[in-house]
Amino acid sequence: IGPGSISVAITLGTNPVSSARAFVVTIVAQAVGLAIVCLAIYLIVAKADRVLDKLGRTGAVILTRLSAFILLCIGVQIVWNGVRALLKTL
């Protein structure tokens, strides 16, 4: 899908879990999240014309800015993970 999914995969992969049960729960949660994202992308792409007509120009701008904000949050999480790991080594 693009750099957004790559950054999410890196973020999820850099947060190791401590037990087998937590690992299984994490894998199931990630699979469910992946399925939801895939379904949402499919529905939005399949119905893009209708979605844009319903959103209008202002709604499309809001959706774009919201997507940018979500990617910013993911980037902040990646930076935070790196800073936290660095501080643990000091």
What is the per-residue pLDDT for 38?
87
pLDDT tens for the chain, 90 residues long, are: 666 677 777 777 776 777 888 888 888 988 898 899 889 889 888 998 898 899 899 999 998 999 899 888 888 888 888 899 889 888
Does residue 71 contact residue 4 with C-beta atoms inside 8 Å?
yes
Q: Which pTM was predicted?
A: 0.52
What is the per-residue pLDDT for 69?
94
CA dihedral 79, 80, 85, 87 (to 10 degrees): 110
